[in-house]
Chain A
Amino acid sequence: MSALPAVDAPVQATLDADGRLVAADEALLALQVEAGGDPNGLLVIPALAALVRLVQRLRIPISRGVEVAQGETDISMWVQLRPDDEGMALAIVDWQARTPRRAPEDVPAIHLAVAGDEGHGWNWQVDTRLRFRTVDQDAEELGHEPPRIGDPLTAYFQLDTRDDTAMPLLEALALRLPFCNQSAILRADAAIAYRISGAPLFDNGGALMGYRGRAVRIDEVPAPAPQPEAEVVHIFGPDLGRRLDQALRQPLGRIIANASTISGQLEGPLRQDYAEYAADIAAAGRHLLELVDDLADLQAIERPGFTTAQEEVDLADLARRAAGLLNVRANARRVRIQTPPLGERAPARAEYRRVLQILVNLIGNAVRHSPEDSIIWVRVDDEAGRARAIVADQGGGIASEDHERIFERFERLGLAGGEGSGLGLYISRKLARAMGGDVTVDSAMGQGARFTLDLPGWTA
């Protein structure tokens, strides 16, 4: 919701004991008339009238925010209403015209954003049978007849099927996925061409409710400048990471939750071996989920133009948080994580969540490789414009010839079958380098390992 210019001076009015306007500033009078009220009649603006009734009933001053609809905009106002001997004194001390609050389904997190389509075209929504449910523009705005509600999308648009080109809409519909760049022409006028993009809508139970999207006319707007084909080195193809993420995250979550419930015997007692099977399933599910997370990260950081935010982060604070996240796992292995003492700081210029991710990976690895009853030290220092976090463990150590190899993709040095995806250190180093730093290791066989996250220091 974007704030539009506000009315600075307080808007004032006086009302009699029945709630009739005795006098009012122009802005309020305009609202009153627009709401169908008389300039000297009962205040009829619904939100304000409700406050008037409250004051009449309780005889108590009111001071609170309300929203009033005015045509295409909402007015957010802070209203003070005070009863007096003659009636009530009303003052609106903060008057902001705003674009109307979006309905929940338009929350930005799921708002369809198709590169290059912002600001053009019109919105549509269809049900599961691709029949139009809503269209946000009329014939005058479109320059041609809009679709009628209830008509099938395919009866309105002729989808482009030339030369066996892909049919993004149909493929997406089959897979319940978003789509973009579906070319189409109007059946009523073949000279009018559109590019259609959309995203699926799901109900609370996960069932498909339809699609919502945007149609952009391409026969009259200049085509977007062709983007140079980026040199992308995708290990699984450009989209697989995202699709894996979408396809696997939810079912894996369910598997983990159900298996955890069974292994925890929360629904009743169970044979011990069955409970253990369920625990194995939950552990395997978590491992797969980590892999999905890693793949999603991998795809993000290998995308051309990947950048990180540059904000002030405190490595000591992040180290304590990362250790806190891993305490459960460490306790289970009887490993103690010693973190920088409270009060110690090591300010760095980096992205908060990425640094946390790196430290979770480094400390997580240390927990994984540490023997029982050992200690992991996490230290920070801040010197010569660099900030460093050091994670040292008492594990078996890493041979010098493997020091670089462990940072390669899918390298799972010394890990048993189900542990680690082999991507953690690779991703951590990539992230650190993207932030102007690095992750390095110092270790020898039998002497534990010491990983250092080095980042630019924060200078105000």
Chain B
Amino acid sequence: MNVGNEPAQQRAPGGGGGEGGRPGVRLFRRLIEDVRHGADLAQLADSAPRRWSDALLAETRFHLAGMMNAVELAIGLHVSDARVESMLAELGPGYARHAIEEELEILSPELLGHLRRRAAVAMLLRQNDGSGAPVSIAAVDPGAGNDRYLDALAALGIAERRWSAPMLLDAPMRPDLPAEHFHDLAWTVAALLIRGCEADAAAGDQGLFRALVQATERLIARHDEGRGAFALAQLCARSLTRASRLALAPAALVDARLLLFAALAEGEIGLSIEQVIEALIDPLDEPRHAVLRLMNIDDAVAFRTMELLAPLTGAAARGDIGLAEFVEDYRLFDAAKAVAWLMRVSSPPALVEKLALMERAQ
């Protein structure tokens, strides 16, 4: 079932209704609000009716919780003050991931937007048994790329497998985030830990504050965004020729490897990897049609792609009819339309924003 953005349409996970004070309900509401602010406003898609499905929300929570667990653990390891160490131990493992449900507004909308795209990638991998299998992709074009490509492809496969691990909210997940998002997440966890420890100690405990700041700074300084799945996918794509990128793109889609496809498309059509993923999971078909057409994807692969994306886009509710219509519409969506869409989204954001405002006013 999908959940609309309108507050009246929102439904608590697990069937809980009403304005209950449970953290899960508040987390859900705030996720929606923040993401609407961050992602929807940024894309001027506030009319999009079905941006978050239950499955996508659950996947996002899994990633957020897992990475917060890992950051919390790592901060604890970097703390060199025994007193602060014991204060953290008092809070218990997984403190931050529980606490964030009360303080969700301190996460940046950009981080939530990124988590949403990451969750979409992971959801597709879960649907495919061969998730993260580099062999099938490497076999499509054995002569493609170079050692760097094969190394990155293998590392990407491993990273993707981690993303599609069983959804245990208490387990740590490697926070392989782009630098800005990792920075945001690390300071978020630090802030929650300081607040948590202060509840048992005197407020404004400078020793506590200093110890956690130093530990977080050490953690941030050791982060390597180049080992993250987004960066690995980009490394794969940039080591290929144009012909190889186009040859691999359909294979990546058939194997449900959205991230690899997005990186291949980034090199080909000039949109960022995040923009390509947004286009593919958009509730409207036009961006999806355009990206697929620009990458010369044939009808059969487009059908398979839509089948995989259906739980994310809301098309699942329409069953086979929706899929058949998607392919019918795709056949009518020619290259000229795809290019027109690309020109529109490649325009300066301010211009796109103004045009969209004018369109909505009509």
Q: Which of A62, A104, A353 sits near B342, CB closer than 8 Å?
A: A104
User: Do A331 and B300 touch across chains, with their CB atoms under 8 A apart?
Assistant: no
Check A120 for interface membership: any CB of B closer than 8 A: no
**Assuming the A-B contacts A204-B344, A327-B320, A331-B320, are A61 and B179 also in contact, with contact meaning beta carbons closer than 8 angstroms in the complex?**
yes
A321-B303 contact given A63-B231, A96-B238, A328-B320, CB 8 Å threshold:
yes
Interface code A32-73, partner B: CB below 8 Å = 1, 0 otherwise? 000000000000000000000010001111111100000000
User: In whole Å, how far is B152's beta carbon from the nearest beta carbon of chain A?
Assistant: 10
A324 interfacial contact with B, CB 8 Å = yes
Q: Given B300, B328, B329, B336, which contacts A202 in the complex, CB threshold below 8 Å?
A: B336
Shortest C-beta distance, A339 to chain B (Å), equals 14
CB of A334 within 8 Å of the partner chain: no
Question: Which one of B46-54, B67-75, B219-227 is at the interface?
Answer: B219-227
Closest residue on chain A to residue B320 by CB atoms:
A328
Query: In the complex, which range does the number of interface residues on chain A fall in?
Result: 35 or more
The answer to whether A107 touches B335, judged by C-beta atoms less than 8 angstroms apart, is yes
Q: Are A104 and B343 in contact (CB under 8 A)?
A: yes
Residue of A1, A2, A325 touching B327 (CB-CB under 8 A): A325
Chain A residues lying within 8 Å of B235, measured Cβ to Cβ, are 65, 78, 94
A80→B235 CA distance, assembly (Å): 13
A21 to nearest B CB, angstroms? Answer: 22
Q: Are A60 and B340 in touch, CB under 8 angstroms? A: no
Instruction: Identify the closest chain A residue to B322 (Cβ).
Output: A328
B179–A62 CB distance below 8 A: yes
Q: Give complex CA distance A215, B323 in Å.
A: 44
B341 to chain A minimum Cβ distance, whole angstroms, is 8
CA A1 – CA B336 in complex, angstroms? 19
Assess whether A60 is in contact with B220, with CB atoms less than 8 Å apart: yes
What distance in Å separates the Cβ of B12 from its nearest Cβ neighbour in chain A?
Answer: 29
Contacting residues of chain B (95-130) with chain A, CB-CB under 8 angstroms: none
Set of chain A residues within 8 Å of B261, measured between Cβ atoms:
none
Asked if A409 is at the interface of the complex by the 8 Å CB criterion, the answer is no
Q: Is A139 an interface residue (CB 8 A)?
A: no
Q: Which residues of A contact B331 (CB under 8 A)?
A: 293
B-chain residues with CB within 8 Å of residue A54 when the two chains form the complex: 179-180
Interface string of B254-278 (1 = CB under 8 A from A): 0000000000000111100000000
Cβ distance B47 to chain A, nearest Cβ, rounded Å: 16
* Closest A residue, CB atoms, query B337: A204
Contact call B320/A61, Cβ cutoff below 8 A? no
Whether A321 pairs with B300 at a CB distance below 8 angstroms is yes
Interface bits A95-109 vs B (CB < 8 Å: 1, else 0): 010000100110101
A105 touches B220 (CB 8 A): no
B9 within 8 A of A: no
Residue contact B238 to A94, C-beta cutoff 8 Å = yes
Instruction: List B189-248 residues whose CB lies under 8 Å from chain A.
Output: 217, 220-221, 223-227, 231, 234-235, 238-239, 241-242
Q: Which of B18-26, B58-66, B161-169, B291-299 contacts A (4 or more CB under 8 A)?
A: B291-299
Contacts of A80 in B (CB 8 A): 226
Tell me, in angstroms, the Cα distance from A1 to B343 when the chains sit together.
17
B148 within 8 A of A: yes
Complex interface residues of chain A between 295 and 321 (CB less than 8 A to chain B)? 321
What residues of chain B lie closer than 8 Å to A293, measured between beta carbons?
331
Q: Are B303 and A324 touching (Cβ within 8 A)? A: yes
Q: Which residues of B contact A104 (CB under 8 A)?
A: 270, 339, 342-343, 346
Contact between A352 and B300, CB atoms less than 8 A apart: yes
- Chain B: interface residue total (CB-CB under 8 A): 51
* Of the residues B239, B242, B296, B299, contact of A1 by C-beta under 8 Å: B242
Q: Is B338 in contact with chain A by the CB < 8 A criterion?
A: yes
Give A202 to B334 CA distance when docked, in angstroms: 12
Q: Which residues of A contact B217 (CB under 8 A)?
A: 59
Cβ A64 vs Cβ B226 within 8 A: yes
Known contacts A59-B217, A328-B324; is A64 also within 8 Å of B231 by CB?
yes
Contacts A1-B242, A104-B346, A325-B324 given; indicate if A109 touches B180 (C-beta within 8 A). Answer: no
Residues on the A chain within 8 Å of B358, using CB? none
Report the minimum CB–CB distance from A319 to chain B (whole Å). 12
**A7: min CB distance to chain B, Å:** 14
Closest residue of chain A to B219 (Cβ to Cβ) is: A60
Q: With A and B bound together, what is the CA distance between A204 and B355 in angstroms? A: 13
A-chain residues with CB within 8 Å of residue B344 when the two chains form the complex: 204
Q: Are A253 and B332 in contact (CB-based, < 8 A)? A: yes
Q: Which residues of B contact A2 (CB under 8 A)?
A: 241-242
- Is B28 on the interface with A (CB-CB < 8 A)? no
Q: Which residue of B lies closest to A83 (CB)?
A: B221
Question: Which residues from B are CB-within-8-Å of A1?
Answer: 242, 267-268
Q: Which of A109, A250, A286 contacts B339 (CB 8 A)?
A: A109
Is the CB–CB distance between A325 and B303 below 8 Å? yes
User: Can you name the residue of chain B whose Cβ is closest to the Cβ of A201?
Assistant: B336
CA distance A130 to B231 in the complex (A): 46
Contacts of B303 in A (CB 8 A): 321, 324-325
CB distance from B252 to the nearest CB of A (A): 16
Shortest distance between the CB of A453 and any CB in chain B (Å): 16
The reply on A193 being an interface residue by CB < 8 A is no
Decide if A76 is an interface residue (CB 8 Å cutoff).
yes
Say yes or no: A60 contacts B327, CB within 8 Å. no
Which residues of chain B are near A256, meaning CB under 8 Å? 328
Asked if A64 and B342 sit within 8 Å, CB to CB, the answer is no
B residues near A105, Cβ cutoff 8 Å: 339, 343
Who on chain B is nearest to A293 by CB? B331
Assuming the contacts A1-B242, A353-B299, asked whether A64 and B225 have C-beta atoms less than 8 A apart, the reply is yes
**Which of B221, B328, B340 has the most CB atoms of chain A within a 10 A radius of its CB?**
B340
How distant is the Cα of A249 from the Cα of B180 in the complex, in angstroms?
A: 46
Which residues on A sit within 8 Å (CB–CB) of B242? 1-3
Interface residue A231 (Cβ < 8 Å from any Cβ of B): no
Cβ of B321 within 8 Å of any chain A Cβ, yes or no, is: yes
Alpha-carbon distance A37/B296, docked complex (angstroms)? 42
Name the residue on B nearest A82 (C-beta): B221
Of the candidates B220, B270, B332, B340, the one whose C-beta lies within 8 Å of that of A204 is: B340
A-B contact pairs, 22 of them (CB 8 A): A2-B241, A54-B180, A59-B217, A61-B223, A61-B224, A78-B235, A83-B221, A94-B235, A107-B339, A109-B296, A109-B336, A109-B338, A110-B335, A110-B336, A110-B339, A253-B332, A286-B328, A321-B300, A324-B303, A331-B320, A353-B299, A353-B300
Identify the B interface with A (CB < 8 A).
148, 178-180, 182-183, 217, 220-221, 223-227, 231, 234-235, 238-239, 241-242, 267-270, 293-294, 296, 298-300, 303-304, 320-321, 324, 327-329, 331-332, 334-336, 338-340, 342-344, 346
Further pairs besides A62-B179, A286-B328: 19, Cβ < 8 Å: A59-B220, A60-B220, A61-B179, A61-B225, A62-B225, A63-B227, A64-B179, A64-B225, A64-B231, A64-B234, A94-B239, A96-B238, A104-B339, A107-B294, A107-B342, A110-B339, A256-B328, A293-B331, A321-B303
Closest 3 CB pairs between A and B?
A63-B226, A109-B335, A253-B332
